[in-house]
Amino acid sequence: MFSKESLQNLKEKIDLVEVISSYLPLKKAGKSFKICCPFHNEKTPSFVINPGDTHYHCFGCGAHGDAISFLVGFLKVSFGEAVDMLAEKFGVTLHYQEGEKKEDLGPLRHVLDECSKFFQFHLLHTEEGRAALDYLYQRGIDLDFIHLFKVGLAPKDPLLSLKVFKEKKLPFEALQRAGLLLENKKNFPFFVERITFPIMDVQGNVIGFSARKFSEKTIGGKYINTKETPLFKKSKILFGLNYSRKEITRQRRAVIVEGQIDALRLIQEGLNLTVAGQGTAFGEEHVEVIRRLGVKEVFLGFDGDDAGREAALKVGNFFQKEGVEVFVLEFKDGEDPDSVLRKEGITGFLNYLHKPKEYIPFLVEMLSKSSNIATPAGKNELVEKAKKLLAEWKFPLMVYEAERRLASLLQVPEEMVQQKIHLVKEPKKDFLVNPDLVLEADLLRWIVVTSSSEETLFPIIQKNLTPIDFIDPSARKLYIHLCELFSEKREVDLLTLAEYIDREEEELLNLIVKKKIQVERAKIGVRESIQKILERNWMLRRESIKTKIQMGKHSEVEILELAKEFDELKKMTPKLVDIEV
């Protein structure tokens, strides 16, 4: 749990206008700021922030919240990530209640930022940089690209890098932890004679580098990336997402390519829906990052070679499994997004994007390379391969439609393909939702949302519910603390709640923050939520008595008493006790 003092310090420093204006072009309207709401489509601005206020409100869709709500809803980050982002933005070091200081990653960010500036200076203003610039110019990369994406060059001479690090007084320990120095080689620089592409976090801070060799004499693979650090997690970071997150979230679709240069070239051309992996296999954790942004369609623009097509087959299956529709861009042999852009420009690339191949036809095409579908045995072999993939998909409707398409393409009856698939394995069911947590979070959400208004609805909740009425432990814990806050007449907001909820219970705060509600319905919504909880608990008490009777472990007298209690309870249909608010 974060300490009360550090969260209070953060709360005092947060400027909601500054937070939102980092992502949206706020416009002054009298004393307020207005803009078209980012949470629904509208032509006339309804999204309003008053100076000095800690909450925004949309008079169109009812979106209402504070800085944390905005970051969670707009950037699709978790509650904890939103708190960390605000702490970093406003220069607040968070402490835990036990007195343990949250790790200060400022020194790592500082050395990464300084190295990014040094690498770019070395590329643009040295003799050694000319050769790298010539290589980039030949690839169609211009100075605008270099400045926009902070492209740089790590020197060939490691002593030069070390000299600059010392002159800038960059701590060697921070350089090591940031992946810029090798600990086992007497602080030898990790990046040598390579063109560097900074990897950014959501806020545009450098968290690592992807570096490409431009000379065949350079040792190592074509690309190398920063090692895993406290800031950089390869399996969860997508290259270019800091430039594309907003548009991906808005359009609910994404273009995924293999190379970093591919991604940046497309972003520069205006296709800011594009991301790339980090030189490692595009995995299921990357898929989850994309899926959390609300994406419904992905377009895979992988290289036009065997390896690229195999990767598209595998990655496409990851997305289809999660209910995201996949389309594959079919480049000619030896082509990739970068080469298409150089030869045909953005128009040429968009021709591929507007005429992609759907995943199932692509799947059949790929599997047909090793199975002769001109023969019954070949068709059978292909279906056997396809069923292993489709059996992993989580959503039955997508499996059903895929089966139909597969049968059509192979020109066989649908029931034969369906039988082949269903005999092996049923599609996995999605995770189960905790209904008690969802119900109780709905009520707690009303408390948090209405706490900033002059009239609070908390008294009616306390009149009808006690902590024991909450089944979920985290919801009960939060309700107890809310009672304390209201009795002490303290302000209730999301940062205050962070004092009481630890990271293991973050699911509750995520549920509270992510759902959009209309504050105008608060009086009705609170009463509806209370009534549902009362009725649920009433039903649970009835079922508990019924179970005791059916267990057969009680005497006749005890069973008669239980039956009497059951009948009395049955007559006592729960009703909300209202008060004037």
Q: For 140-185, write each residue's pLDDT tens digit.
A: 899 999 999 999 999 999 999 999 999 999 999 999 999 999 877 6
Specify the pLDDT at position 93: 79
Give the count of alpha carbons within 13 A of 361, CB side only: 7
Specify the pLDDT at position 115: 97
Residue 62 Ramachandran class (φ > 0 left, ψ -120 to 50 alpha, else beta)? left
pTM, full prediction = 0.71
CA dist 44 and 46 (Å) reads 6
Q: Which helix (H) or strand (E) holds 481?
A: helix 473-487
CA dist 256 and 246 (Å) reads 15
Residue 239 Ramachandran class (φ > 0 left, ψ -120 to 50 alpha, else beta)? beta
Instruction: Kindly tell me the sign of the dihedral angle through the C-alpha atoms of 254, 257, 259, 265.
Output: negative
Tokens of 118: 């040094």
CATH no. for 236-356? 3.40.1360.10
Specify the pLDDT at position 451: 66
- Answer yes or no: are the C-beta atoms of 440 and 472 closer than 8 Å: yes
CATH no. for 435-571? 1.10.860.10
CATH architecture entry for 4-89? Alpha-Beta Complex (3.90)
Residues of the chain with pLDDT under 70: 1, 96-103, 185, 278-280, 419-433, 451-456, 501-505, 580-581
Residue 34 Ramachandran class (φ > 0 left, ψ -120 to 50 alpha, else beta)? beta
Look up tokens 């968009």; give the residue: 350
Tokens of 322: 């999660």
Q: Which CATH superfamily is domain 106-232 in?
A: DNA primase, catalytic core, N-terminal domain (3.90.980.10)
| Ranges of each domain in the chain | 4-89, 106-232, 236-356, 368-422, 435-571
Look up tokens 């002593």; give the residue: 159
Instruction: Kindly tell me the sign of the dihedral angle through the C-alpha atoms of 562, 563, 569, 570.
Output: positive
304: three-class secondary structure by DSSP: coil
Specify the pLDDT at position 427: 47
Q: Which helix (H) or strand (E) holds 486?
A: helix 473-487
Q: Which helix (H) or strand (E) holds 29?
A: strand 27-29
Q: Which of 320, 257, 251, 249 is nearest to 289 (CA)?
A: 249
Instruction: Kindly tell me the sign of the dihedral angle through the C-alpha atoms of 230, 233, 238, 239.
Output: positive
Instruction: Kindly tell me the sign of the dihedral angle through the C-alpha atoms of 444, 450, 454, 455.
Output: negative
Full DSSP string of 529-576? HHHHHHHHHHHHHHHHHHHHHHHT-S-HHHHHHHHHHHHHHHH-----
